[in-house]
Structure 1
Amino acid sequence: MAERELLKTDVLIIGGGIVGTSAAIALRRRGVSVVLLERDLCGARSSGINFGGVRRQGRAFGQLPLAQRAHRIWQDLPTLLGTDGEYVRSGHLKFARTAEDFDKLVHYRDGAAAYGLELELIGAAQLRSRFPWVGAGFAGASLSPEDGQANPRLVAPAFARAARDAGTVIREREEVVEVGRTLAGFHATTAAGLTVQADHLLNCAGAWAAPLAARFGDNVPLTQGHPAMAVTEPMPYFLSLSLGIEGGDIYCRQVARGNVVFGGGRVEPGAAGVDAIRSTTTALFRQMRSLAALVPRLEHAQIIRTWSGIEGYLPDRQPVLCASPGTPGLFHGFGFSGAGFEIGPAAGEVLAELVVDGSTPTPIDTFDLRRFTPPSTAHTQSQSPQHNESRKATTT
């Protein structure tokens, strides 16, 4: 019988997306030893299959401090990762179809200013003169000139490489099947027989994070969502901005080589389950109608690839980013609801600060998982740390 492998570390991270790997980088900078376990390949799930929008505009106000922190990290991406990941501050333009939607953009502009996000409102009369490619009938738009876009298929693996280069022990294709905590600390065992012992545990398991959290009494109503994505053939370059729309049913961007990446809406998994999720013709036709209305010259564009993936969603579309209320040494960072690409690097740094310092200068009260717990239950959990649990889990 092969000898079972044992690793000991200060921090165990479960999940190799951008949040987990950026946390690993930040922890290694503080001299903390880290082991990261990933069920598949790092960055292969939501971190690597998303649209690639690096935007602050449109986020809930409570997310803007985290988004502003992330904005500074993205600015220095080549130093952090050794690659720019095709990141450009192209600007993000968000359209309003109706006067009511434009009023929402005005309200958002006014509220976002308190967080240092400056937005320019553009009325209907100016739209066609400034952006001649836009379709008719829009009531206006909001421009965030320093928001941008990047290639998630380059950026997500680059975070993992940078974490490994910083000294993180990364083990891919390691499905965690048992996890628990005793007075000696946390322990996790994988299907391949690897056991990791750690003083701290970071739950960055994305769409699979809820079962892991529940092992320690932290229950959250996380569901899985599946974005519908597509990309066109290369076309003459004309669209420097990343586009969105109030209501969120379509978004698109054009990359330097001419392809237009677009998405909007979600698809349902077929009989093969979430691991074989694909976009559908129904979703694609719906997107193309919205896309052609927004940018008419794309009406006859040829689609060369479609895809989907798996993202973790919470009812209020806000992530969980906090220390466990009942289990000392356990920290959560998941549930970014399809909008974690931009803020992921900052979320990772916040988790590292919670581990090392016990607090973070970035406001995160909005992201506490106790918002989903009835007050009486929350009080009971806070009084009952779990020290002797060893439970089965299927996580990332």
Structure 2
Amino acid sequence: MAPVISPVRTSDDFPPATVVCVIGGGIVGLTAALVLAERGVPVVVLEKGRLAGEQSSRNLGWIRKMGRSVADVPLARAADALWAGLAARVGEDVGYRQAGILYLARTRAEMDMHRSWLDAVRDLSLESRLVTAAQIDELVPRGQGQWAGGIHTPSDGRAEPTRAASAIARAAMQKGAVIVEQCAVRTLVLEGGRTTGVVTERGVIRCEQVLLAGGLWSRRFLGNLGVGLPTLPLICSALRTAPMEGMGEIAVGAPDFSFRKRMDGGYTITQRGALDAPLTMEHLRIGMRYLPTLRQQGGHLRIGIGREFVADLALARHWRETDISPFERVRVWDPAANGVLIREAMTNLGVAWPEFRAARIVQSWAGAMDITPDSLPAIGAVAKVPGLTLASGFSGHGFGTSLAAGELAADLLMGEAPIVDPAPYRLERFSRGGR
């Protein structure tokens, strides 16, 4: 069952023209729309289903610098400041708490990985530090796990996925953005070699720029335009508990579980050591690009072939603007939670912190993430399609950087000075001539 999202009253109007069209009503696209509206740029957001209906509301809500690629840390640091000011900016509490994140290690090899990452970011002035088993007991008391140590970043935090995107959407509309749900974009209007509008299921909207922030669906949209974006799906199953007392505010990630406090007093929990990897036709097309990742993390993946393969096969990869698009056939991808992983998460957590054995599970859900070969998103202009900017491929950790990522996308499509160096996120890095 999908998480319950804070409701947003979107527009019933269908504008004939604007300056920027945003395809996708997830948190990155909505943030870009808010930035543009704050700058006085007319913008329309078009969402095929409902706002934040997929991974933007289904993620774990972690906001972290710790463990990120060195190239991704500047974006994460920029996002920290934006998260800290978001409540004042949108006039709502979205649950942002800078309560820290703690990663645990059971073995010396796992500690060596944390140590290597800390060495790699040494010059970036982060607050991350290695901690001992005794210090773990001080940070999160009453545990019974046997830990080799861990790594702690007190400046990392969390927020509520079911609140954040909705609050951003409301603030964007207050500043003039138009948001339309249940309206899929089928393709682009291309005239004179550049983008001049979008073709939706309800008609054409003329515009000067388009931002594609369609998450897992961006690969299929671009493929219809002859543009490649390598992303494959991974599915994370999660649960939430009823309110619990005494477990503290720090978010904790162990090799085979994670938990973080929620605004409602419960906890969001997952089996951190396992993700479902449903095979699709895309694995035959681009799977070889992921071999280095599989060698490193293949043990975390529960690979299988099932209904996802058939469902993916049934969706068109090429269509005309007059055809019903795949985005109208599947408004929201709502994968079922993996009950085995849910039980594993609670069992593993209960061994380490026995108080969780009495936790009452209120809800479980799953969300599909769009994973790139290097786990970094693609943010920037699409060279083959002038007037089109891309912000997708966030690989399961885009919620934390979403505020900075949306601003970066807005900066780039409007030709403004970027909030961070966009070089690590170039789409061209995936081409044969790229990095």
Percent identical among aligned pairs is: 30
Query: In terms of mean alpha carbon deviation, does 271-280 or 299-308 score higher?
Result: 271-280
Task: State the AA in 2 paired with 1:86.
Answer: G
Q: Does 1:158 align with 2:216?
A: no
Matches within 5 A, 1:57-68: 57-68=66-77
Contact 1:237 1:256 in 2 (8 A): no
Matches within 5 A, 1:256-335: 256-263=263-270, 264=272, 265-267=274-276, 271=307, 275-335=333-393
Deviation at 1:355, TM superposition (A): 1.7
Equivalent residue, structure 2, for 1:186: 196
Contact 1:112 1:118 in 2 (8 A): no
Q: Secondary structure at the match of 1:288?
A: helix
In 1: Cα distance, 2:65 partner to 2:251 partner: 12
Contact 1:43 1:160 in 2 (8 A): no
Structure 2 counterpart of 1:49, from 34, 37, 58? 58
Structure 2 counterpart of 1:239, from 241, 245, 248? 248
Please give the per-residue CA displacement for 1:110-168, whole angstroms capped at 9, x wherever unaligned: 32232231112211243334432233311111111111111110111111111111111
In 1: Cα distance, 2:388 partner to 2:112 partner: 42
Q: 1:360 to 1:216 in 2, by over 3 A?
A: farther
Please give the per-residue CA displacement for 1:317-364, whole angstroms capped at 9, x wherever unaligned: 111111112222211001111101110110111111112225525122
Q: Does 1:13 align with 2:71?
A: no
Q: Secondary structure at the match of 2:424?
A: helix
Q: Secondary structure at the match of 1:310?
A: strand
Deviation at 1:256, TM superposition (A): 5.0
Equivalent residue, structure 2, for 1:86: 95
Q: Secondary structure at the match of 1:74?
A: helix
Task: State the AA in 2 paired with 1:241.
Answer: I
In 1: Cα distance, 2:377 partner to 2:251 partner: 24
Structure 1 counterpart of 2:399, from 334, 337, 341? 341
Q: Secondary structure at the match of 1:8?
A: coil
Contact 1:93 1:141 in 2 (8 A): yes
Equivalent residue, structure 2, for 1:386: none
Q: Does 1:255 align with 2:262?
A: yes
Equivalent residue, structure 1, for 2:287: none
In 2: Cα distance, 1:240 partner to 1:197 partner: 48
State the TM-score, normalized to the length of structure 2. 0.80
Query: In terms of mean alpha carbon deviation, does 4-13 or 25-34 score higher?
Result: 4-13
Equivalent residue, structure 2, for 1:37: 46
Equivalent residue, structure 1, for 2:143: 134
Q: Secondary structure at the match of 1:308?
A: strand
Q: Secondary structure at the match of 2:52?
A: coil
Contact 2:102 2:252 in 1 (8 A): yes
Equivalent residue, structure 1, for 2:236: 227
Contact 2:54 2:334 in 1 (8 A): no
Task: State the AA in 2 paired with 1:9.
Answer: T
Please give the per-residue CA displacement for 1:230-285, whole angstroms capped at 9, x wherever unaligned: 0122222322101113x5x4221123543121113334676485734111221112
In 2: Cα distance, 1:185 partner to 1:285 partner: 49
In 1: Cα distance, 2:129 partner to 2:239 partner: 29
Deviation at 1:212, TM superposition (A): 2.0
Contact 1:185 1:197 in 2 (8 A): no
Contact 1:267 1:283 in 2 (8 A): no
In 2: Cα distance, 1:23 partner to 1:267 partner: 30
Q: 1:129 to 1:85 in 2, by over 3 A?
A: closer
CA RMSD of aligned residues (A): 2.1
Task: State the AA in 2 paired with 1:312.
Answer: D
Task: State the AA in 1 paired with 2:33.
Answer: A
Q: Secondary structure at the match of 1:117?
A: coil
Q: Does 1:172 align with 2:181?
A: yes
Query: In terms of mean alpha carbon deviation, does 193-202 or 113-122 score higher?
Result: 113-122
Task: State the AA in 1 paired with 2:49.
Answer: D
- Residue ranges of structure 2 left out of the alignment (5+ in a row): 1-12, 279-305, 312-331
Task: State the AA in 2 paired with 1:297.
Answer: E
State the TM-score, normalized to the length of structure 1. 0.87
Please give the per-residue CA displacement for 1:179-226, whole angstroms capped at 9, x wherever unaligned: 2321274322222x2311111110101110112223443301212222
In 1: Cα distance, 2:138 partner to 2:127 partner: 22
In 2: Cα distance, 1:186 partner to 1:266 partner: 40
In 1: Cα distance, 2:403 partner to 2:419 partner: 15
